[in-house]
Structure 1
Amino acid sequence: MIQRERYIDKIKPFIGKDIIKVLTGIRRSGKSVMLQLIQEEIRSQGIADTQFISFNFESLENADFCTADSLYQELKKRISSVQGKVYLFFDEIQEVEQWEKCINSVRVDFDCDIYITGSNAKLLSGELATYLGGRYVEFVVFPFSFEEYLESIKQEKEEVSVTEEFKNYLEMGGMPFLMNLRYDKDASMQYLRDIYNSVLLKDVVQRNNIRDVELLERMILYLLDNVGHSFSARSISNYLKQENRKVSAETILNYSKACCDAYLFIQLRREDLQGKKILSVNEKYYSVDHGLRESILGTNARNIDQILENIVCMELLRRGYTVTIGKNGEKEIDFIAQKNKDKLYIQVAYLLVGSGTIEREFGIYDSIRDHYPKYVLSLDEFDMSRDGIKHLNIRDFLLSKEF
């Protein structure tokens, strides 16, 4: 089991505190395992297993407790036999009807420490904000980083080539269960397609009562094909019109939001560096796992520049940065990443081939006069840093402890 220490380190300060810990993320990103890792951490603090109560609502074993009242009555019965603080773990809580009322009541009525997971941001954040304002903290669990992927490979192999495994990671992505398939190509792609279909049906179509599933799927294919490219609802609407499908910009926006709520995509807004404001047009979308993209489109190798950008975006989010796209006049900076008072500018390229490419990637920073670190990331093996702008190999960036 991969320890996923970055997440545990974020959660540790809240263990035992009267605040609900919420783990969200796309299905099969490792939230259930995170609950096990949290339990291991709590055990290390001297807490006995008898103080743990767990429910996985994807299991039929708990089908009788999928309403707020039935769950509350079952908890009341089980908690009465526990001495001391009780630690409650609820996996895929969104399967419980009006779950938020039960969770809020349990928090008030008993001496407990609560952890919940769910696969829909809209469902969780909306109900939590209504019933638990200020009493919960959220952690988004993403698929494996390249570092975690390597850790899983090292459990199977004595010798590992970072360069070769990065090529595999570009194709496979980081869904944790793939390590159980030993990253077999055919089996992995089938598994990823099944995840995609499950998310599409359960977390997008059913949760949002979408009737035109074919239109939704066409829009998703467009977003997958254009990860890292500027997006506008009108551009997709025009694209679909060429396929003889009339659809409003409002419908496109609603569908794209539903996909983001289900964590199929991450939406990044653009930041005007000259006007110092966030722009509400031409956002960019990134796939939460580029392996899902490969399983549907099969074009990661041909679109490697987009995939590298996608990987860097997700890595910044895993490390706790708030990420935007930088607009600087007519130029665009791939990522502006901020965490507390730290700030980074990042350009991503496949290879810095030729003076024109080098000038474009480094020259983007010419008019930015602040002193925050500026990076150009690529797969080049030689350090091309210049004029105070640092150049790093993307693999080194992904494995670095500095960011």
Structure 2
Amino acid sequence: MVVERRRSLEKLEKFKDKSVIKIITGVRRSGKSTLLRQFAQRLRAQGVEDASILFIQLDRLENEHLREYHALYQEIMKHRRAGCMQYIFLDEVQLVPEFQRTVLSLFEQERLDLYLTGSNASLLSGELATLLSGRYVEIAMLPLSFAEYCELANTAPAQAWNTYVRCGGFPYLSQIEGEDEKRDYLQGIYHTVLLKDIIERHNVQDPYVLESILRFLMDNVGNLVTSKKIADSLTSFGRKTSPMTVEKYLRTLEEAFILYRVSRFDIQGKQHLRFAGKYYVVDTGLRWLLLGDRGRDLGHVLENIVYLELLRRGNHVFIGKFGDGEIDFVAEKGGARTYYQVSASILDPMTYERELAPLKKIKDNYPKFILTLDTLPMEDEGIRQINLLDFLLANVL
């Protein structure tokens, strides 16, 4: 069973036949290849002939000979058809050294619509980004949302929630029975990303330090950190590391779409703050894999899930600072802004006051929400409480 990735398909549809390259990025096994197949199927349903669709998976052994930019270009040109639009899908194109040369030559061809996927953010760096400035669109893929997971697992939200919050939303995971089997699958993704997309690609000299940094950040999801704090922590455990080394490894982890850094925004001063930020993991299942249940820390796991959902909905997301108070997320989209606090529960009076106090200090007219697992509705000075599962399933707010 396959779930339709509707948001991403709608973005692809919007740019179909336009003179821009569609570049789909995201961590391995997040569904990029499936998205391309779904879009190719849409094209067929719209009357596009099979001969006008060329799909090349460059991570497949049978296509290994095409991982050379001349060979790839020649293969595509062999399938060119005069007088009709053709759709070229290149999956995991970063496996082709100097793939930019092929892409740039194809871009100059008339009546050719080009779609790429890649598992590393460096896909959009260097020559390609420079020469195609303003002529490509990036569509960022994440593992399944909770709504998509429920649809794929074909189960009620209340039943799906405990598995999703623990094991995450990698698409194939919902089809695997058994905790050990799920862990084995996640282990395979983790090792592939770490070895193929980070250690080999960046020639990492000390993989142990890299993994130590990743474990530290997994254990500190939702906490403000700096490179110095991470380096000091590793040094205190006997692994002497400099902030500069930490910075370098953080960049590689972000490029492989394992971690996302969220900077802070001073709401009063209306400026972005340079120092300290928070990191969230691309999928909570990877956190469970590395930390087990001891790293459950439900409040921060819920923050992680909300952050990813806000990204899926097309928001630019920041951590809000207002005086001494903090707002979990400031989400901006289309010139509008929304504030979110996230808490497992606010039934305790002290928790209630702590979570709402920062929102009450903000006197602008933008919407303010607090997302919890509580089911009792509440509104206080215009701040609305929303059940988290309802928020994740609603595709609004």
TM-score class, shorter-chain normalisation, is: over 0.9
Name the aligned partner's letter for residue 142 of structure 1: L
Task: Determine if contact 1:101/1:131 at 8 Å carries over to the other structure.
Answer: no
Alignment gaps of 5+ in structure 2: none
Which of 158, 165, 170 is the equivalent residue of 1:170? Answer: 165
> In structure 1, what is the equivalent of residue 62 of structure 2?
61
Alignment of 1:374 onto 2:388 = no
Task: Determine if contact 2:121/2:255 at 8 Å carries over to the other structure.
Answer: yes
Q: Secondary structure at the match of 2:200?
A: helix
The Cα of 1:301 is off from its aligned counterpart by 7.0
Alignment of 1:187 onto 2:187 = no
Give the % identical residues.
40
The Cα of 1:341 is off from its aligned counterpart by 2.1
Alignment of 1:235-250 (within 5 A): 235-250=229-244
Name the aligned partner's letter for residue 388 of structure 1: G
Task: Determine if contact 1:68/1:99 at 8 Å carries over to the other structure.
Answer: yes
Deviations 1:195-218 (A, max 9, x none): 011101111112211111001010
Which of 246, 249, 255 is the equivalent residue of 1:252? Answer: 246
Alignment of 1:285-300 (within 5 A): 285-299=279-293
> In structure 1, what is the equivalent of residue 92 of structure 2?
92
Q: Secondary structure at the match of 1:380?
A: coil
Name the aligned partner's letter for residue 108 of structure 1: E
Query: Following the alignment from structure 2 to structure 1, what is the Cα–Cα distance between the partners of residues 87 and 18?
Result: 11
Which of 222, 230, 239 is the equivalent residue of 1:228? Answer: 222
The Cα of 1:393 is off from its aligned counterpart by 0.7
Alignment of 1:192-203 (within 5 A): 192-203=186-197
Alignment gaps of 5+ in structure 1: 155-159
Change (3 A) 1:300 1:137: farther
Task: Determine if contact 1:190/1:295 at 8 Å carries over to the other structure.
Answer: no
Query: Following the alignment from structure 2 to structure 1, what is the Cα–Cα distance between the partners of residues 296 and 218?
Result: 13
Query: Following the alignment from structure 1 to structure 2, what is the Cα–Cα distance between the partners of residues 162 and 245?
Result: 43
Deviations 1:344-371 (A, max 9, x none): 1000001113211101111111221100
Which of 279, 303, 306 is the equivalent residue of 2:300? Answer: 306
Q: Secondary structure at the match of 2:108?
A: helix
Query: Following the alignment from structure 1 to structure 2, what is the Cα–Cα distance between the partners of residues 394 and 139?
Result: 26
The Cα of 1:44 is off from its aligned counterpart by 2.7
Deviations 1:106-139 (A, max 9, x none): 1103420000000001233434312311111000
**Larger displacement relative to structure 2 (62-71 or 218-227):** 62-71
Name the aligned partner's letter for residue 357 of structure 1: T
Aligned length: 396
Deviations 1:273-326 (A, max 9, x none): 121111111110000000111111113773111110100000000110000000
Alignment of 1:256-271 (within 5 A): 256-271=250-265
> In structure 2, what is the equivalent of residue 157 of structure 1?
none
Task: Determine if contact 1:196/1:292 at 8 Å carries over to the other structure.
Answer: yes
Name the aligned partner's letter for residue 104 of structure 1: L
Structure 1 segments, 4+ long, off by >4 Å, are: none
Alignment of 1:340 onto 2:341 = no
> In structure 1, what is the equivalent of residue 11 of structure 2?
10
**Larger displacement relative to structure 2 (123-132 or 28-37):** 123-132
> In structure 1, what is the equivalent of residue 150 of structure 2?
150
Which of 193, 207, 212 is the equivalent residue of 2:201? Answer: 207
Task: Determine if contact 2:219/2:295 at 8 Å carries over to the other structure.
Answer: no
Name the aligned partner's letter for residue 99 of structure 1: F
